[in-house]
Amino acid sequence: MNLLEVLRGRFYQALENWAPDPATAAALVKPATDSKFGDYQANAAMSLGKAMGKPPRQVAEELLARLKWDDILEKPEIAGPGFINLKFKTEYLEGLLSQAAVDSRIGISPVAKPGRYVIDFSGPNVAKPMHVGHLRSTILGESLARLLRFLGHDVITDNHLGDWGTQFGILIHGYRTKLDAENLKKNPVAELARLYVEVRKDFKTAGDEDEGTPGDPVQDACRLETAKLHRGDAENIALWQKFMPACLEEIEAIYNRLDVHFDHVLGESFYQPMLGGVVEDLLARGIARESQGAVGVFLTEEGPPSLIRKSDGAFTYTTTDLATIDYRIREFQPTDILYVVDSRQALHFQNLFETARRWGRTGTDHGPRLVHVAFGSVLGSDRKPIKTRDGKAVANLDQLLDESVRLAGEIFDANKAEDADPSSRSSVTEAVGMGAVKYADLSQNRTTDYVFSWEKMMAMEGNTATYMQYAYARCQSILKKADVTPETINTKASIHLRAQEERALAMQLLRMEEILLVAASDLRPNVITGYLWDLAKAYSVFFQNCPVLKAPSELLPSRLLLCYLVARSLRLGLNLLGIRVIERM
């Protein structure tokens, strides 16, 4: 149930055939900024007054005379120049919550018009260990996939691995010139990472890997190895095949630990046979042209082109991305393709999407919507983006996750209940550790940078995963003490909202569909974490002021149902973030 849409629907009916642009006016129904004035507020009278040539307060009065409200609302109040304050009847909220208690989706409806989303996320370079810089794309993409699927959309996830690009030219050059064979046997991924860093140290300039810096002998050698690989050179292909298995195995272990899943893992190498055709087609259509032996798409006359084939014959990331768009459209027929990628790649995607438009693969009246779901950087304590290129000591992602679990173990040992099962320690600390890392990231506005902080992410108080997991466990503890389970709880009992704290909690529970739709529309999981924080706070106030187990007999079933609904809502919200709940902490 979406309370906001219920109200907007009622206002649209009242505005239709009376006011100009009723849809826009109805959309001005918003959540109240202060609950003491009501649950929601209609703000259309001011703009309508100007359009209709009437005082806003008169417009508000006439609008209320047309509005059907008495079955769901207390009498609306007009405030100030024409704001309309709206408060739901308590019995209406009680009925909705009683219905939600017996609904498998706790009253949240699937979208009326589902789309088909392809979500491209994570995409690490397979020749290097995953590090904290990969974290945002991986968990943001997984959360968006879970959210959109729950809302009823068809979602296809694709991990576009960097398994063919210029980094392999760097590795092949390093393999030929700097290899430690013993290290390669002991830890292949670590040795390949070392080679990558050591070769880049020899670059005279820090030129972009894909475009390169002409005249740098080491970069020239790496580009030559890349070009040979792309042309199918037998030795370079054999080295590529030698590098791949261990790299893929280590990456998959990280994904399993993070509970991240993909429908497809189609790396750059999958599209290699298509790249020549892409270049030839763009040339034939006049979208690309040759320049100094290379082929590029000139999107502006002044700026540099987007290269799709370099002068040495090697293809670029842009070529692969164009082939990927073409393949996804033909194979999956999506309505939307989302790229969950660092905001520093904004120019690349701007040029890519424009090239795809000129190529006829997408447009305003056909093809999928292409969206760069940009996000900021994870910063170190020096407030600079964490990266591995410069060889500085940065914990690999698996080491970071180990540390998070270790810290979760300290929390478990310091706060465990007397009846805690020692055998549960491992599963609990893994859930708390993984949850802390994910929630700390997902609770940030994705477009902003954030400083990685163990202290903040592991806190037992505040807007953290640990606190949400604890709130869920507290609900479960109450239900256990009452000797009820999801199978035996009397979900047919009526909910009674006698206390102010009960009603406030009810409003939070009934806002979840509204919140999930906003999170999906904006592609921002932090909207969900903000909601969970509000729900947990409302539950805490309810818990402190409204006894549950010691409630009067006529209120006990209702308050148990409220606890049950809070637990289900927390579990759903955390699951959409990829975070496991814990039955007992």
* Domains of the chain, CATH where assigned: 3-88 (3.30.1360.70), 121-379 (3.40.50.620), 398-576 (1.10.730.10)
Q: What is the mean pLDDT of residues 333-351?
A: 96
The one-letter code for the residue type at 577 is L
Separation in Å, CA 382 to CA 134, 206, 273, 385, 451: 19, 21, 43, 9, 9
The fraction of the chain above a pLDDT of 90, given in percent, is: 72
What CA–CA distance (Å, rounded) separates 104 from 263? 25
The fraction of the chain above a pLDDT of 70, given in percent, is: 96
Classify residue 393 by its DSSP letter: -
3-state SS assignment for residue 214: coil
Q: Model confidence over 368-401: pLDDT tens digits?
A: 999 999 999 888 777 877 654 444 434 578 888 9
**In sequence order, which residues have a C-beta less than 8 Å from that of residue 411 and are 6 or more positions away?**
429, 432, 458, 460, 466
Residue with more model confidence, 397 or 288: 288
Per DSSP (E only), the strands in 310-393 are 336-342, 369-375, 378-379
pLDDT for 205: 72
Q: Model confidence over 453-464: pLDDT tens digits?
A: 888 888 888 999
What CA–CA distance (Å, rounded) separates 303 from 69? 59
> Among 240-254, 403-417, 518-532, which is the least confidently predicted range?
403-417
Residue with more model confidence, 286 or 390: 286
Separation in Å, CA 148 to CA 123, 153, 368: 20, 5, 16
> Among 91-100, 210-219, 317-326, which is the least confidently predicted range?
210-219
Residue with more model confidence, 206 or 365: 365
What CA–CA distance (Å, rounded) separates 322 from 355? 8
CB atoms within 10 A of CB 347: 10
What CA–CA distance (Å, rounded) separates 290 from 564? 66
Closest CA to 265 of 244, 279, 239: 244
pLDDT for 391: 42
Is residue 233 over pLDDT 60? Answer: yes
Q: What is the pTM of this model?
A: 0.91
Give the confidence band of 417 by pLDDT, cuts at 50, 70, 90: low
Q: Model confidence over 95-109: pLDDT tens digits?
A: 999 999 999 999 999
Q: Model confidence over 484-517: pLDDT tens digits?
A: 887 788 777 789 999 999 999 999 999 999 999 9
Q: What is the mean pLDDT of residues 269-286?
A: 95
- Of the CA atoms within 13 Å of residue 502, those in its CB half-sphere come to 22
What CA–CA distance (Å, rounded) separates 113 from 335? 11
